[in-house]
Amino acid sequence: MTARDKILGRIRQRLGREGPLEGAEAAALRARIDGHQRGIVPNRTNIPHAAQVDLFQEKAEALAATVSRAKSLNDVPEIVSDYLTRHNLPGKIKMSPAPFLDGIPFGAMPMIEITRGAAEASDEVSLTPAFTGIAETGTLCMASGANTPSTLNFLPENHIVVIRASQIAGTLEESWDRLRQAFGEGNMPRTVNFISGPSRTADIEQTLIMGAHGPRRLHIVIVDDGPEDT
């Protein structure tokens, strides 16, 4: 008997069943999965979208992320350059190959050197898009893919994320629905990361220290929706 048979057999025996569930019972469970009904969803995000964006910012800042607002992608180079100067960082950025980021006119900032691709151990600053933002907790949702390598979310010490206001959803559940729309029911990208603030640890005498293994700093740029988004 295989371990699989042993384990399933013992579970069934303890549940007082002979074999696997069949017929209507199995169909009901299948339907429960396919229907992926929402459970109890906190009421706090039951507010207009503009207020959700404010809530997202407030929650993210409470998690020790920093946030800037930009009117358009044209404002992003200056925000990034200020950020690098403020933290005394070299003008070198590893950026996701995502087409959305092509719209940032970095050409106007020749002192910032941009390379694109997955993260390497020597990268100090990464710049990535996000799949969604979640207002409920100030969380970013990142979906991996050819243009969005997930190592950029973890390896560099500084992570800058550029997100459109329209990408900010209320809750985890809304974010799941958008993911299903983008990738198809039952399909997931290899990695979906929910990120709530920069990395931290309290493993030494319960003292909170930032930057344990992931980014020490997380900066989020919320860009107003362009004409194409509204």
Partner 1 sequence: MQVESRRFKKQAHEALHDENIQKAFSKVKTGFPVNRAKAVSELPEFDDLRDAARDLKNHILAHLDFYLETFEEQVTLQGGQVHWCSSYAEARDAVLKICEAANARTVTKGKSMITEEMSLNSFLEEKGIEPIETDLGEYIIQLAHETPSHIIAPALHKTKDQVTELFHEKHGKYGFHERLTDPQALVNEARSILRQKYVDADVGITGANFLIAETGSTVIVTNEGNGDLTQSLPKTHIAVSSIEKVVPTLEDASTLLRLLARSATGQEMSVYTTFSTGPRRADDIDGPAAFHVVLVDAGRSELVGSDKQDLLRCLKCGACMNHCPVYQAVGGHSYGWVYPGPIGAALNPQMVGLEEARHLPNASSFCGRCEEVCPVRIPLPKIMRLWREEAFEKQIAPKPERWGIGLWAFFTKRPALYRLATGLAARLLHAMGGRRGRISKLPLLSGWTSVRDFPAPLGKTFMQQWKEQKGAGK
Instruction: Give me the 115-154 binding string for partner 1, x by CB under 8 A, dash otherwise.
Output: --xxx-x--------------xx-x----xxx--xxx-xx
Stretch in the footprint of partner 1 (CB under 8 A) among 123-131, 162-170, 196-204, 221-229: 196-204
Interface pick for partner 1 out of 127, 135, 172, 220 (rule CB under 8 A)? 172
C-beta closer to partner 1: residue 33 or 111: 33
Q: Does residue 201 touch partner 1 according to CB under 8 A?
A: yes
Q: Which residues pair with residue 160 across a beta bridge?
A: 127, 219
Q: Which residues contact 172 (CB under 8 A, 6 or more apart)?
A: 134, 136, 139, 194
Comparing CA positions, the residue from 199, 63, 225, 34 lying closest to residue 134 is: 63
67, 199, 208, 215 from 204: Cα distances, Å: 29, 15, 8, 19
Q: Does residue 98 touch partner 1 according to CB under 8 A?
A: no
For residue 74, the one-letter residue type is N
Interface pick for partner 1 out of 189, 224, 225, 226 (rule CB under 8 A)? 189
C-beta closer to partner 1: residue 16 or 227: 16
C-beta closer to partner 1: residue 8 or 50: 8
C-beta closer to partner 1: residue 108 or 212: 212
- Specify the DSSP class assigned to residue 11: H
Interface pick for partner 1 out of 71, 206, 228, 230 (rule CB under 8 A)? 206
d(CA 167, CA 170): 10
Write out the DSSP string of 45-103.
G-S-HHHHHHHHHHHHHHTT-EEEEESSGGGHHHHHHHHHHHTT--SEEEE---GGGGG
Q: Does residue 194 touch partner 1 according to CB under 8 A?
A: yes
Side-chain half-sphere exposure of 148, counting CA atoms within 13 A: 19
CB of residue 152 to partner 1, shortest distance in Å: 8
Q: Does residue 27 touch partner 1 according to CB under 8 A?
A: no
Q: Does residue 181 touch partner 1 according to CB under 8 A?
A: no
Which residues, numbered 46-75, are part of the site for partner 1 (CB under 8 A)?
59, 63
2, 27, 71, 81, 175 from 99: Cα distances, Å: 49, 42, 19, 21, 21
Interface pick for partner 1 out of 214, 217, 220, 223 (rule CB under 8 A)? 214
